[in-house]
Amino acid sequence: MPCILAENLVKTYRRSQRQPGVWGALRGLVHRQHQVLRALDHISFRIEPGELVGYIGPNGAGKSTTVKLLSGILVPDSGRCEVLGRVPWQDRIAHVARIGVVFGQRTQLWWDLPVIESFDLLRDIYKVPGPDYARRRDELVGVLELEPLLDVPVRQLSLGQRMRCDLAAALVHGPDLLFLDEPTIGLDALSKLAVRDFVRRLNQERGATVILTTHDMDDIEALCTRVLLIDGGRILLDDTVEGLRRQVSPERRLVLDLVEEEGDFGDPQVRLLRREGRRVELAFDPNQVPAPALISRLTARCAVRDLFVENPPIEETIAQLYRKNQG
């Protein structure tokens, strides 16, 4: 049984439009014009237990709407959906007891209370049996290094500290499925690494199914096996991270550090991207010329101190896909 099954989900919003100027505002009092926005336009996908899926797309693409549908907060206009064998919005209370959600931009902790009291409250809310709660709490406190934070009121935590506490809060009841909506937004490098490391372990060691929405492509590269790319309410791509790259451009980068500043790279099968002093960046298509052949050809021609081959940054890949879709 798939963990999540979505078929042809459609969700539209009605937005009343304001006409400009005083006259427009007055007319708006009597006669409102509405614009219908299609946030989700026949979305279908399935996710198996234990997958760690990246759900990406530009702002306003429909990511959050999907997460809200799957977690039972919103009701779609049409389409079929089953999460953990349940229709989320039909039996919201039973459904949400089995899932955990973190919205990176908000906190689910009680602002004025010490962190530990928020955890205790969640225990009561989710009816977690005492021993289970103690075990899970201690484990989360250990892994996320929360010990020194437990007695601090939430409003006094830094963003990175708060996010670690929020992750723990989403897991106090041991959910089978975790939605992370931009969990690394605004975090410093160290906190980002801590969050990523935790999510990876959760997925690998516990087999938790995780849906991760993010704008941070490093999150995707570090964590996800599979990527769903959404824009304008449609799924543009459902593939592995490798597949995502191949989809747009198979190009790789070759970076060379030369011994001398001079040197000619007029090779028909490479494109010169940048040249700064002794460093040269080239782009090539591995389908046309295999990397070893290209390297031996170039190193035969001039003295090279160091070299490495890399993939183009995934941001560029994604940006190309967005542009392709809008164009």
Partner 1 sequence: MKAYAAILSAQFRTLLQYRGAALAGLFTQVFFGLVIVMVYEGFYRSTTTTPPLSLAQVVTYTWLGQAMLGLIPWNVDPEIRNLIRSGGVAYELLRPLDLYRLWFTRCLARRSAPTLLRALPMLALAYAFLGMQLPPSWTCLLLWLAANMGALFLSAAFTALLSTSLLWTISGEGINYLVICMIILGSGLQIPLPFYPDWLLPVLNLLPFRGLFDVPSRLYLGHIPPSQALPVLAHQFLWTLALIGFGRWVLARGLRRLEVQGG
Cα dist from 129 to 102, 133, 140, 167, 202, whole Å: 22, 6, 16, 20, 21
Q: Smallest gap, in angstroms, from Cβ of residue 282 to partner 1?
A: 39
Q: How far is the CB of 276 from partner 1 (least distance, A)?
A: 39
Q: What is the closest distance, in whole angstroms, from the C-beta atom of residue 154 to partner 1 in the complex? A: 11
* Binders of partner 1 in range 51-90 (CB under 8 A): 59-60, 63-64, 68, 71-75
Distances (CA, A) of 171 to 123, 135, 299: 10, 12, 53
Q: Are 183 and 218 in contact (CB under 8 A)?
A: no
Question: What type of residue is 179?
Answer: F
SS3 142: helix
262 binding partner 1? (CB under 8 A): no
Number of residues that bind partner 1 (CB under 8 A): 32
In whole angstroms, how close is the CB of 131 to partner 1 at the nearest point?
Answer: 17
Name the nearest CA neighbour of 137 among 161, 110, 169, 166. Answer: 169
In angstroms, what is the minimal distance from the CB of 42 to partner 1? Answer: 20
- Provide the token pair at 317: 């890949």
Shortest CA distance to 228 belongs to which of 85, 23, 25, 44? Answer: 44
Asked whether position 126 contacts partner 1 by CB under 8 A, the answer is yes
Other Cβ atoms within 10 Å of 140 Cβ, number: 20
The contact mask relative to partner 1 for 4-43 (x = CB under 8 A, - = no) is ---------x------------------------------
C-alpha to C-alpha distance for 106 and 122, rounded to whole angstroms: 16
Query: Rounded to the nearest whole angstrom, what is the least distance from the CB of residue 97 to partner 1 in the complex?
Result: 4
Taking the complex as a whole, how short is the minimal distance between the CB of residue 182 and partner 1, in angstroms? Answer: 9
Integer CA distances (angstroms), 44 to 75, 141, 180, 244, in order: 16, 37, 20, 18
- Name which of 60 and 290 has its Cβ closer to partner 1: 60
Task: Calculate the CA dihedral of residues 183, 187, 188, 193 and round it to 10 degrees.
Answer: -10
Q: Is 134 in the site for partner 1 (CB under 8 A)?
A: no
Q: Which of 25, 26, 87, 125 binds partner 1 (CB under 8 A)?
A: 125
DSSP state of 87: -
Regarding 322 and contact with partner 1 (CB under 8 A), the answer is no
Instruction: Kindly state whether residue 93 participates in binding partner 1, applying the rule CB under 8 A.
Output: yes
Per CB under 8 A, residues contacting partner 1 are: 13, 59-60, 63-64, 68, 71-75, 92-94, 96-97, 99, 101, 103, 105-106, 108, 110, 112-113, 117, 120-121, 124-127
